[in-house]
Structures are given as C-alpha cells and as structure tokens.
Structure 1
Amino acid sequence: MGYKATITEIGPMVQDFIGENMIIIFDNNAPDALRDMAVLHSIEEWERDITIGDELVVCEKRYKVTAIGNEANETLKTMGHCTLMFNGADTAQLPGHIELSGDGLPDLSVGMSIEIIYS
C-alpha cells in the first residue's frame, strides 16, 4: 500500500452524487461551500502518484483504476481532492476524475479508509 486516508466526515449531499456513480473527496480543509457534497478525509500516507492499473479500496470494496485525469494526482496530493467515478471508463471525463471499475458502490462510513494499492 502507498496511499491511505481515513474518512472523517460525510456531507449530507454525498448520497445524491453516489446515485450518479461518483464520490467527491477532499481533505479535512475543504472550503465550507464544498463540505456538504464531499467525503472528507485525512491523508496518512502518500507514496507516489496513482496510475492506471492500481487498485483503489474504498471502505473495504476494491476497484481497479481505469483512467486518471491530468490534474487528479496533483489535486489529490495538495488538497486531498478528486472525483471518484465508478463507471469503468478508459478515459477520464474531467481533469480531476479517477475512473474506476468494480462491482457496486462502496458503503461509506466515518472511520473507514480510502487506500491505493500500487500495481
């Protein structure tokens, strides 16, 4: 493992975005205007940038990284921010997206982790 973060807060609008197969994540220092729509977390470990083929584990559910937007690693590293898209796309829809394939959506819970297992 090379990236690990613990979920500290789940905004009240997060369920709306999960219905669209996406989760927006931010470090605990997210702007107030974005906290309601985000899963907030504290980054505990960062080894290197995420690449296609890495495995993302969200609340113990595993997903394969299929595409990464050209800004996703930088914003994740500096602000703990990106948008996780659970659609298996092989091209990122937006610069801050990380596209993922896997079965179903994670059951989010405060105290659970978001981890990257590098390939």
Structure 2
Amino acid sequence: MKYEVTVTSVGDAAFELLKDTGCLIIFDKCPLTELEEISLMHTPGEIKSPLAVGDKVTMGKHEYIITAIGDEAPKTLSELGHCTFKFSGHSEVELPGQIELKGENKPEITVGDKITIE
C-alpha cells in the first residue's frame, strides 16, 4: 500500500463539483474553510513509496487506474493530503496538482470510506 486514508467529511458541494468538472478534491489540512465545501476531508496519510502511472486507486467501492500525475501532486498529497483527482483518463494532466484516473463510474464516497493507492 502506497497511501491510505479514511474520509472524515464530505463538503456540501464536493459531488456537484465532480458532476460539473469531473474533478474531486481531497485534503487532510485545508488552508481555507471555503475549500472544505468542495472537498473531501480525510485522515492524515503518508506516501510510503512513489506514485506511478498504472497504480490502482480505490475510493470506497470504486477502483481506478492512474493515467497521469502532475508534478506537484505528490508534494501536495504528502504535505496537505491534497490533490485533485480528475476522472477523464487522459495521459497528461491539465494542472500540476492533478492526478488523472481511468475507470468505470464516478465514485460515491461517504464518511468512513477509505481512499487507497497501491
């Protein structure tokens, strides 16, 4: 297991953002309260080995494959528990803090669900 956290809260607009943009934002330490409304908050986690294209990401009951990783994503994930998951499966990211994912369906995540990367 490269990374594992547990969801502690789901922002009121997090899934609206996912529906509108295909993006899901996560944090363990959120710098702005306003961002919590559009984010999933989770327990602190540690990246135990480098993330790589082809790694499996599990969110609740859904599984995805990483297709691209932004240059800043490992750093922000390590320091703030933050990244933006985008579910388009592209081979390149649009923003440096993004992780692109490929898979069926958008995640349905509730408090207590795990987010893992392996």
Instruction: Tell me the TM-score range normalised by the shorter chain.
Output: over 0.9
Unpaired runs of at least 5, structure 1: none
Paired with 1:73 and 1:44, the residues of 2 have a C-alpha distance of 12
Question: Which residue is equivalent to 1:109?
Answer: 110
Letter in 2 for 1:2: K
Equivalent-residue separation in structure 2 for 1:94 and 1:53 (angstroms): 19
Q: TM-score, normalised by structure 1?
A: 0.93
Between the two proteins, the alignment pairs up a number of residues equal to 116
Q: Distance in 1 between matches of 2:89 and 2:100?
A: 6
- Asked if 1 retains the 8 angstrom alpha-carbon contact of 2:2 and 2:48, the reply is yes
- Percent identity, aligned pairs only, is 35
Partner of 1:100: 101
The corresponding residue for 1:7 is: 7
The one-character-per-residue Cα deviations of 1:21-40 (angstroms, maximum 9, x if unpaired) are: 1100001x212121111000
Deviations 1:85-119 (A, max 9, x none): 000000011000000000011111000000001xx
Q: Which residue of 2 aligns with 1:46?
A: 47
The residue type paired with residue 104 of structure 1 is: N
Contact 2:2 2:51 in 1 (8 A): no
**Consecutive unaligned residues in structure 2, runs of 5 or more:** none
When the two chains are superposed, the root-mean-square deviation of aligned CA atoms in Å is 1.0
- Quick one: distance in 2 between partners of 1:11 and 1:57? 19
